[in-house]
A and B are shown apart, each in its own frame.
Chain A
Amino acid sequence: MNEIITIASGTWKNVLRMKVVYFLILCALVLVASAINYDVLSMGLQKELMIDVSLVLNSIAAMLVVISLTFEIPKELREGVASTLLSKPLGRFQYLIGKMFGCIVTGAVICALIAVGSFFIFNMSFGERIGVTMFQTHLLVILALIPMSALGVLFAVLLPEVIAPIITVVVVWFAFSTKFLAGIPVLYGGILPDLDLFNFRANAVYQVQIPWMYVLLVTLWGICYAAFALSLASIVFERKDIK
């Protein structure tokens, strides 16, 4: 367990020290705040627009973190960072879990910053308290990081370096709109995760509370999917030659 935390902390330190991350968070918050100016576009629904924009941007941020993971793992393998780490008493499976944990924590920190920033802007703009639903929906965005980062790890070890991020973007994008994928029964909620389970933008906009039981169950589902994807990844990774 200690090994996993060590790898994970190395990962999040590495990402959270990049100044560009905070610049992007700031950009996201500026976009959220600017929703108030779109009174024509939103036909007086600025409040709803702002909630929606904050959720979409937060999901995109989560996706970016996962994509950065699909860049980082092949890079560590290519540059030899991984071989230094794996020459220590550290199993390859532990390395992958550590990377995934690192990604989840990084994503959680970034998404939480965006969520809190959005709440603050919302409160400043409309003088309203933050409803439970808004909190829940942002929490679900963070929880979606669990299956998403496992998927990122899987693609990062399965696919060649340049292709992994592209496939991840495409799959995550489709996975958020499984209506399209529902026609392919094997994929739907099977090999690929059904990320639509974590998407409650409509609830947020219309302030319809989500049962806490659902949040719990969907978290469990995410953990199960992550376990599945990570096992698959480790079967491949155990046999891989590392540069």
Chain B
Amino acid sequence: MEENVIVIEGLSKNYKRWFSSKGTKALDNLTISVPRGSVFGFLGPNGAGKTTTIKILMDLIKPTTGSAFVLGKPSYDVDVKKRIGFLPDSPAFSRQLTAREFLNICAKLLRIPSEQRNETVEEALHTVKMAEHAREKLGSFSRGMLQRIGVAQAILNKPELLILDEPLLGLDPYGRQEFKQIIIDQQKKGTSVFFSSHILSDVEEICDRIAILKKGHLLCTGELDKLLAASGINVVITPGEDKVFKELMTDAEGSVKNPDGGWTLSFPHNNPELLKKIEDMKKESPDALAISASREKLEDFFFRTVENANV
């Protein structure tokens, strides 16, 4: 079995305009891989090229150069799609069809045997909590309801790999909670998930890996824990140790007063002198301060990475 469910190598995409030689460069030499079994968050500001990448993976858009492999097959392989679930960025389906009919069409296209089809459709409708709307036409659905149907059609075939473009968009707080549960359940079943999102708190909660993209360039990719842990250290100062506090306060990046009257100061990793100074103080008076690796919030990490990048 392949190690990686998605392998993207040197992918570039230039959208050509009709009457101009210069197009829009949406992706520039992108290389990412997604290991089997992971939940991978694909992040980046608007226009970073997330949708473009995802559409190339689904062979809806042809890359200018480079190649993409899904489940070990080139992205243009038609049969491999039987093993993938996909949610497009703005799900739109034939308005005159009812939810159940639409899912039935999808099930047929996914080559689910006819004797299992009804059961599979009902199960998917149930999973996304849309069973009571199964007989209503899609044209009458709200944005979030369509999103739910979109998720339902993506999980119909019990896919090995889920590729979702902004699955949280348009969902209410309940919907977001349910969606996260669906993803966690899918991961337990062994499904790998690759999705783009702007809701960083949710990404932090469910993803084990991320990649950040800006203007078509990859800024970073890797395990979430490692990326966030590498960002600095926290120093907790015992209440009453004002001398230590005053000495360190000026160099700290951030300071938070603790409920017990002490302080938590955060320091960046990239200042060896400062780190040395903290270590020395710790040796001098071990009770005055406690050092721990700080885990940055994904949101802070995202802003820092995107703003520091010069692309």
The answer to whether B60 and A3 touch across the interface, beta carbons within 8 angstroms, is no
Shortest CB-to-CB span from B116 to chain A, Å, is 15
Main secondary structure of the interface of A (DSSP, over half): helix
The answer to whether B82 and A89 touch across the interface, beta carbons within 8 angstroms, is yes
* B57 to chain A: closest residue by CB: A87
The answer to whether B96 and A17 touch across the interface, beta carbons within 8 angstroms, is yes
B1 at interface (Cβ–Cβ under 8 A)? no
* A15 to chain B: closest residue by CB: B96
* B81 to chain A: closest residue by CB: A89
A239 at interface (Cβ–Cβ under 8 A)? yes
Contact bitstring A87-124, B, C-beta under 8 A = 1, else 0: 11111000000000000000000000000000000000
The answer to whether B96 and A13 touch across the interface, beta carbons within 8 angstroms, is yes
- Complex CA–CA separation, A18 to B97 (angstroms): 11
Contact bitstring A1-44, B, C-beta under 8 A = 1, else 0: 01100110110011001100000000000000000000000000
> Given that A83-B58, A242-B61 are known contacts, is A89 also in contact with B153, CB under 8 Å in the complex?
no
- Complex CA–CA separation, A86 to B86 (angstroms): 10
Main secondary structure of the interface of B (DSSP, over half): loop
> Given that A3-B109, A10-B97 are known contacts, is A86 also in contact with B92, CB under 8 Å in the complex?
no
- Complex CA–CA separation, A81 to B96 (angstroms): 12
Shortest CB-to-CB span from B14 to chain A, Å, is 11
- Complex CA–CA separation, A85 to B94 (angstroms): 10
The answer to whether A80 and B108 touch across the interface, beta carbons within 8 angstroms, is no
B88 at interface (Cβ–Cβ under 8 A)? yes
B106 at interface (Cβ–Cβ under 8 A)? yes
* B95 to chain A: closest residue by CB: A14
The answer to whether A84 and B88 touch across the interface, beta carbons within 8 angstroms, is yes
* B153 to chain A: closest residue by CB: A84
B91 at interface (Cβ–Cβ under 8 A)? yes
The answer to whether B96 and A18 touch across the interface, beta carbons within 8 angstroms, is yes
A241 at interface (Cβ–Cβ under 8 A)? yes
- Residues in chain A near residue B89, CB distance under 8 A: 80
> Quick one: which of B60, B79, B97 contacts A89, CB cutoff 8 A?
B79
The answer to whether A241 and B106 touch across the interface, beta carbons within 8 angstroms, is no
* B18 to chain A: closest residue by CB: A160
> Quick one: which of A6, A13, A87 contacts B60, CB cutoff 8 A?
A87
Within residues 90 to 127 of chain B, which ones have a CB less than 8 A from any CB in chain A? Answer: 90-97, 101, 105-106, 108-111
- Size band of the A side of the interface? 20 to 34
> Quick one: which of A85, A91, A242 contacts B55, CB cutoff 8 A?
A242
The answer to whether A6 and B109 touch across the interface, beta carbons within 8 angstroms, is yes
> Quick one: which of A2, A7, A17, A83 contacts B88, CB cutoff 8 A?
A83
- Residues in chain B near residue A6, CB distance under 8 A: 105, 108-109
- Residues in chain A near residue B82, CB distance under 8 A: 88-89
B295 at interface (Cβ–Cβ under 8 A)? no
B311 at interface (Cβ–Cβ under 8 A)? no
Contact bitstring A54-88, B, C-beta under 8 A = 1, else 0: 00000000000000000000000001110111111
- Residues in chain B near residue A80, CB distance under 8 A: 88-92
B78 at interface (Cβ–Cβ under 8 A)? yes
> Given that A87-B60, A87-B81, A89-B79 are known contacts, is A2 also in contact with B93, CB under 8 Å in the complex?
no
* B111 to chain A: closest residue by CB: A89
- Residues in chain A near residue B106, CB distance under 8 A: 84, 88
- Complex CA–CA separation, A79 to B89 (angstroms): 11
The answer to whether A10 and B62 touch across the interface, beta carbons within 8 angstroms, is no
- Residues in chain A near residue B86, CB distance under 8 A: 84, 87
- Complex CA–CA separation, A10 to B88 (angstroms): 19
- Residues in chain A near residue B92, CB distance under 8 A: 79-81, 84
- Residues in chain A near residue B60, CB distance under 8 A: 83, 86-87, 241-242
Shortest CB-to-CB span from A107 to chain B, Å, is 17
* A86 to chain B: closest residue by CB: B60
Shortest CB-to-CB span from A75 to chain B, Å, is 9
* A241 to chain B: closest residue by CB: B61
* B89 to chain A: closest residue by CB: A80
The answer to whether A89 and B110 touch across the interface, beta carbons within 8 angstroms, is yes
The answer to whether B101 and A90 touch across the interface, beta carbons within 8 angstroms, is no
- Complex CA–CA separation, A2 to B95 (angstroms): 22
A-B interface, 6 closest residue pairs, ranked by CB to CB distance from nearest: A88-B109, A87-B86, A79-B92, A242-B60, A89-B81, A241-B61
14 inter-chain pairs at a CB distance below 8 angstroms, sorted by A residue, are: A3-B108, A9-B105, A14-B95, A14-B96, A80-B89, A81-B94, A84-B93, A84-B150, A87-B58, A87-B60, A88-B82, A89-B80, A89-B111, A241-B61
Given known contacts A79-B90, A89-B109, A89-B111, what 11 new A-B pairs fall within 8 Å (CB)? A2-B111, A6-B109, A14-B97, A80-B88, A80-B91, A81-B92, A83-B60, A86-B60, A88-B81, A89-B78, A242-B55
Instruction: Report which A residues bind B (CB closer than 8 A).
Output: 2-3, 6-7, 9-10, 13-14, 17-18, 79-81, 83-91, 239, 241-242
